[in-house]
Structure 1
Amino acid sequence: MAAAPCTLNMASVLALLLVFSVHWTGRSHAFSLMNYLCNNGSSYALNSTYRSNVVALLGSLSANASSSAVGFATGTLGRGPDQTWGLALCRGDVNGSACASCLALAPDVAFGKCRGVKDASIYYDRCLLRYSDTDFLATPDDAAASVQYGANLQVNVTADPGRFAGLAADLVGALSAWAAWNSTARYAAGVVTSAQGFTTTDHSLVHDIYGLVQCTPNQAPEACLACLGRLRDEIPDVFNGSTGGQFNAVWCNLRFEVFLFYDSSPVVKLVAPPVTPAPPGAAVHGDANRTRGAGHAATVVAIVFGVLVIFLLSTFTIYLWRKAQVKRSADEKRASLDWEARYRILYGTARGLLYLHEDSQVRIVHRDLKASNILLDADMSPKISDFGLARLFSADNTTTVTSQVVGTLGYMAPEYAVLGHLSVKLDVYSFGVLILEVVTGRRNTDMFESAAGESIILLSYVWDHWVRGTALEAVDPSLACHCQAPEAEAEVVKCIHLGLLCVQENPADRPNMLDVLVMLHGHSSGFAAPSKPAFAFAYGETTSSDERGILSVSRAAAAFSLNGMSASEFQPR
């Protein structure tokens, strides 16, 4: 009997330590309540079954979300009028313990500020939670709530607020595409940098705008993009002039600030274009107009004529200077793309295509893969962009036939351009063209100058060198100093070999993207021999075509035949 008081005291001490630990953890993460919505459509009694169901559901959501790899959970509890539905989502850069600590604060709002309300949405800076007596999980019905900062915290841009809001919207757009297509958590954070910067009402000069977007992970990429797109379109009107803003909604949310507010590494890094200066001579024209008078018409004409001559000479000089600068800039950029950077671009693009073809929830064919749709961040890491022409396939469906052929000429596989046969092998063909462009430094759509006896079409040019055993002569001359080592030389030849395998005429002969990645890691000695690329012409061959047909090459007879199909549109949209 004497031991009982001691046991009780130890239990009390442990309970106090646990409470202290929970409160200390919450303070260390400094969770901020950003917004809450008490939808007063209906209410419940404090001792009702519905309240008990809400209490149990909030605990279940917190446990499931904090243990989830993507910090997300949904659930329902009860029956009939006492049934409640709920959703919990933690920000993509918080760990499980921080997620649990953040969601543990939600009951304070649910049973305090929203006491007795059956439908409530609670938004903290690192988590959100909603519960309702209606099944909002089946049909999203929530509207976005903007977070307006108090007057004492409000900081505005003092000059060109429209440009600032436009850059914030551009950053959100890039982050939205990344979150939708490259993140299973549907989360992305990034930054856009302006060299000129923006002056603010607190007398500071800011250069960086940090942004974050997130959707619920159970959404399809298209739904996530649409949700974030609606919020992005409202940024200029709602936050015009403000250096920070936030939209809170259950299914998607976004935030931008001029200070770093997230814990993850930025996956998108943008550089703002320079500010366009005022047209030269504008002030002179204004002065001339102000001095115009009936008695000085001849003087005004002389002034205007002199200004016009000076303006034209200045414009022509600037044109020549900028033309030289553009050429020098292009040469400098090409020189900065050494072989290591180019190989990293090819490898990263191949990984992105493999995700679209095999690892995403639905099979995705991009249909417009080309160099201009590969974006590079500050670390030269590639990001596939522009999914406006993408086609979705179910897991058990790998091909289809379409009557609307869209894309970019020069990157479309022959079976797609001619017959409308659409499959993942279309992207493989486009990737093969991209490989050859990166290695040679030439664009597939250009008719470039070449030596006598060489084709002026990229695929034919590379194929001719491959057949002659002079593949290295097709490599970009700026890579000559980078490919002197035997290992680098073998890697370049391997990429040419792989590019030719990807642009073969028969889709069955082309490797899939998993094979491509394996080949990039392996040695070309184990590769199959490539066959002649589609749309490749030997030097000296001539062709003719009429307006209603297209030309195709038969590998067997190497003869041209007219195809009278007219169901497809071959001009790029």
Structure 2
Amino acid sequence: MIIPIVLQLLIILGNGMAMVAAQPWHTCGASNYTADSMYRLNLDGMSASLFPEGAGGSGGGIFVRGSSGADPDKVYAVALCRGDVDDAPACSSCFDAAFRRAMQLCPRSKDATIYYDECLLRFSDTDILNMDSVRRLNTSEIVHGALVLMNLTSEPMLPGRSTATANFTGFLKTMLTDVVGQVLSTRRHYAAIRMEMDDGSSSSTTAVPREFYCLAQCAPDLIEDICYSCLTNFSDRPVASFPGRQGWRVLGLWCNLRYSLPPSVSY
């Protein structure tokens, strides 16, 4: 499903959820609960307990996960801050804001995901916490519900020369390989890099070096094989389908990847 919007293109992968394409980006599940249901009570309990625990928990408070209640009304939740936002109170505040927005944007939905620039949050009636290794290595499971956001600028990244886009695609692949390698080498599974390339002109007077920025992140508890599979799957899709765009991001529950011309974080 592809939905064009002003300035951006949003695609949702492998999911039948409803969506919108303005920050906070969100998806809403089809199943609903009633206002006086046990599921709602468990959801309220989750919101009251998860964020304070996360502020003082492992991973510097950037990653929290938990469940509340018992089947069939059990609620599961995961929240992850962007890797450079390492201030626990800031992450807790973002998680709280994401939860409140989820309740507003997906009223009475049992499954909702919110993506802010600084954090993401999902709660669900499906167990999203303890996928076994077989399910987690399944590509469709990894990309389920991921959002792809593209710049809709009609001009290619390096306009005017047929070889420029091909050169840039090669450069982008190198940059993505580099950032994924750095993610796998860190305990927090996060990396942000800056790389520079020439615009492909043969003249030194017209060549325009450009700086590009790339950020990649996996949930801290993902094993390396799964993190690698998630990020490489995400990186292959935009490179193959949307070459030369001025920026894109792929947002998923277990990993996310973005690149752009202007930096959005500290590199």
Per the TM superposition, whether the score is higher than 0.5 is yes
2:84 aligned residue (85, 93, 100) = 93
Residue aligning to 1:413: none
Residue aligning to 2:47: 58
In structure 2, give the amino acid aligned to 1:163.
N
Separation in 2 of the partners of 1:232 and 1:256?
Answer: 10
Please tell me whether the aligned partners of residues 189 and 212 of structure 1 are also in contact (alpha carbons under 8 angstroms). yes
Alignment of 1:229-244 (within 5 A): 229-244=232-247
Separation in 1 of the partners of 2:33 and 2:42?
Answer: 11
2:110 aligned counterpart, secondary structure: strand
- The alignment status of 1:194 with 2:213, answered yes or no, reads no
Please tell me whether the aligned partners of residues 39 and 117 of structure 1 are also in contact (alpha carbons under 8 angstroms). yes
Please tell me whether the aligned partners of residues 197 and 207 of structure 1 are also in contact (alpha carbons under 8 angstroms). no
Residue aligning to 1:246: 249
Residue aligning to 1:227: 230
Residue aligning to 1:120: 112
Separation in 2 of the partners of 1:253 and 1:80?
Answer: 30
Instruction: Kindly state the Cα deviation for residue 190 of structure 1 after the two structures are TM-superposed.
Output: 0.2
Cα 1:257–1:45 change in 2 (3 A) is same
In structure 2, give the amino acid aligned to 1:36.
H
Instruction: Kindly state the Cα deviation for residue 183 of structure 1 after the two structures are TM-superposed.
Output: 1.0
Residue aligning to 1:168: 172
- The alignment status of 1:37 with 2:1, answered yes or no, reads no
Separation in 2 of the partners of 1:63 and 1:154?
Answer: 45
Separation in 2 of the partners of 1:169 and 1:261?
Answer: 20
Cα 1:111–1:155 change in 2 (3 A) is farther
Residue aligning to 1:259: 262
Please tell me whether the aligned partners of residues 65 and 90 of structure 1 are also in contact (alpha carbons under 8 angstroms). no
Cα 1:144–1:207 change in 2 (3 A) is same
Q: Report how many aligned residue pairs link the two structures.
A: 223
1:106 aligned residue (94, 98, 107) = 98
Residue aligning to 2:7: none
Residue aligning to 1:67: 56
Cα 1:122–1:166 change in 2 (3 A) is farther
Unaligned runs of 5+ in 2: 1-21, 202-207
Alignment of 1:286-297 (within 5 A): none
- The alignment status of 1:79 with 2:70, answered yes or no, reads yes
**Greater RCO (Cα-Cα under 8 Å, separation 6 or more):** 2
Cα 1:116–1:165 change in 2 (3 A) is farther
- The alignment status of 1:129 with 2:127, answered yes or no, reads no
Please tell me whether the aligned partners of residues 150 and 245 of structure 2 are also in contact (alpha carbons under 8 angstroms). no
Task: Choose between structure 1 and 2: higher strand proportion.
Answer: 2
Instruction: Kindly state the Cα deviation for residue 144 of structure 1 after the two structures are TM-superposed.
Output: 2.2
Instruction: Kindly state the Cα deviation for residue 49 of structure 1 after the two structures are TM-superposed.
Output: 2.0
In structure 2, give the amino acid aligned to 1:119.
D
Q: What TM-score, normalized to structure 2?
A: 0.76
Cα distance per residue 1:533-562 (max 9 Å; x no partner): xxxxxxxxxxxxxxxxxxxxxxxxxxxxxx
Instruction: Kindly state the Cα deviation for residue 107 of structure 1 after the two structures are TM-superposed.
Output: 2.5
Instruction: Kindly state the Cα deviation for residue 220 of structure 1 after the two structures are TM-superposed.
Output: 1.0
Q: What TM-score, normalized to structure 1?
A: 0.37
Please tell me whether the aligned partners of residues 121 and 129 of structure 1 are also in contact (alpha carbons under 8 angstroms). yes
2:256 aligned counterpart, secondary structure: strand
Alignment of 1:201-212 (within 5 A): 207-212=210-215
Cα 1:98–1:225 change in 2 (3 A) is same
Cα 1:64–1:170 change in 2 (3 A) is farther
Cα 1:112–1:195 change in 2 (3 A) is same
Please tell me whether the aligned partners of residues 102 and 126 of structure 1 are also in contact (alpha carbons under 8 angstroms). yes
Separation in 2 of the partners of 1:241 and 1:196?
Answer: 12
Instruction: Kindly state the Cα deviation for residue 156 of structure 1 after the two structures are TM-superposed.
Output: 4.1
Please tell me whether the aligned partners of residues 213 and 252 of structure 1 are also in contact (alpha carbons under 8 angstroms). yes
- The alignment status of 1:178 with 2:170, answered yes or no, reads no
In structure 2, give the amino acid aligned to 1:112.
Q
Separation in 2 of the partners of 1:167 and 1:64?
Answer: 42
In structure 2, give the amino acid aligned to 1:108.
R
Cα 1:194–1:59 change in 2 (3 A) is farther
Task: Choose between structure 1 and 2: higher helix proportion.
Answer: 1
Structural RMSD (CA):
2.2
Cα 1:102–1:156 change in 2 (3 A) is farther
Residue aligning to 1:145: 147
Instruction: Kindly state the Cα deviation for residue 47 of structure 1 after the two structures are TM-superposed.
Output: 2.6
1:46 aligned counterpart, secondary structure: coil
Cα 1:49–1:254 change in 2 (3 A) is same
Unaligned runs of 5+ in 1: 1-31, 199-204, 266-573
Cα 1:167–1:119 change in 2 (3 A) is same
Cα 1:36–1:166 change in 2 (3 A) is farther
1:106 aligned counterpart, secondary structure: helix
Cα 1:49–1:242 change in 2 (3 A) is same
Residue aligning to 1:500: none
Instruction: Kindly state the Cα deviation for residue 37 of structure 1 after the two structures are TM-superposed.
Output: 1.2
